[in-house]
């Protein structure tokens, strides 16, 4: 799924970069490509970067890299730390607010939190982005310590229940038989032994009122003692909690 938030992000970023170029143009690889490459380097595993890190990864010139980072800092996309390394700036908070509003997350976050509270299992929202399954929001269990994924994690679409639901209602939505047709028929996907052999994951789809697939909500927890009774209980919980944001056809109320 392509988010509405990202085009706004690129519009604002390119607009700001145009202002940068009016001050001092950057030659060779376009400035917007360099900016996006630098921003895409930040990750959960590497939240801080030095100029040396960036230059080593992309073979950038140190002086032009410094100039780009100064511009990005000026517009709030990165922040410079006392140790002279850089981290994602506060502009990300604003972009997150845009993304949240554009994708109805203000409706879904309280639901996901409540699913976690009632079930005592971890509840998550996954979406598709650039051929990956992205954990957009995650409410960790308060009593279980089995975290193998964090908010923002990127997975292959073929991994786990969340990715299979995304495929079933997305790229494989025209399948007339097989796994993805079965997932659509039953309205959920159950998987085990994917990210952690000790866990199960139960995923259901969320579809907008305009028939746009939003993503999958997933409940995960220890598979010890997990049986058909617990599966039915969790499916009922997911269905009941989604009643507040979806219509009778299971579509998100916009």
Listing DSSP states for the chain in one string gives: ---SHHHHHHHHHHHHHHHHHHHS---SS-HHHHHHHHHHH--SS---B-HHHHHHHH---HHHHHHHHHHHHHTTSEEE-TTS-EEE-THHHHHHHHHHHHTTHHHHHHHHHHHHHHHSSEEEEEEEETTEEEEEEEE--SS-------TT-EEETTSHHHHHHHHHTTTTTT--SSHHHHHHHHT-EEEESSS-TTEEEEEEEEEETTS-EEEEEEEEEE-TT--HHHHHHHHHHHHHHHTTTB-TTSEE--
Are 84 and 122 in the same domain?
Answer: no
In the chain, the number of structural domains is: 2
Are 60 and 118 in the same domain?
Answer: no
CATH classification at residue 70: 1.10.10.10
* The predicted structure's pLDDT at residue 194: 67
Which residue range(s) make up the domain with 26? 5-95
The mean pLDDT value for 28-54 works out to 88
Q: Given a cut of 50, is residue 10 above it in pLDDT?
A: no
CATH classification at residue 158: 3.30.450.40
pLDDT in tens, 79-117: 999 999 999 999 998 988 888 777 667 778 889 999 999
Task: Give the domain-ending residue among 78, 95, 112.
Answer: 95
Are 145 and 211 in the same domain?
Answer: yes
pLDDT in tens, 141-165: 887 666 567 787 888 888 889 999 9
Are 91 and 142 in the same domain?
Answer: no
The mean pLDDT value for 212-237 works out to 90
* The predicted structure's pLDDT at residue 2: 41
* The predicted structure's pLDDT at residue 11: 46
């Amino acid at each position: 799924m392509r988010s509405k938030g990202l085009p706004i992000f690129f519009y604002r970023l390119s607009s700001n970069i145009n202002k940068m170029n009016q001050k001092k143009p950057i030659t060779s690889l376009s400035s917007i490509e360099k900016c996006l490459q630098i921003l895409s380097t930040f990750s959960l595993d590497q939240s801080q970067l030095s100029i040396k890190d960036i230059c080593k990864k992309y073979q950038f010139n140190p002086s032009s890299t410094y100039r780009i980072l100064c511009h990005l800092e000026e517009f709030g996309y990165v922040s410079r730390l006392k140790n002279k390394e850089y981290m994602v700036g506060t502009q990300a908070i604003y972009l997150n607010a845009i993304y949240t509003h554009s994708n109805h997350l203000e409706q879904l976050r309280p639901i996901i939190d409540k699913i976690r509270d009632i079930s005592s299992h971890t509840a998550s929202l996954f979406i598709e982005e650039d051929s990956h399954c992205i954990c957009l929001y995650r409410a960790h269990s308060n009593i279980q310590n089995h975290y193998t994924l964090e908010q923002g994690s990127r997975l292959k679409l073929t991994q786990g229940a969340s990715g299979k639901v995304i495929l079933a209602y997305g790229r494989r939505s025209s399948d007339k038989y097989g796994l993805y047709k079965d997932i659509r028929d039953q309205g959920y996907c159950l998987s085990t032994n994917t990210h952690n052999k000790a866990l199960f994951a139960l995923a259901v789809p969320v579809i907008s009122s305009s028939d746009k697939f939003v993503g999958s909500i997933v409940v995960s927890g220890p598979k010890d003692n997990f049986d058909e009774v617990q599966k039915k209980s969790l499916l009922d919980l997911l269905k009941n909690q989604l009643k507040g944001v979806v219509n009778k056809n299971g579509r998100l109320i916009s």
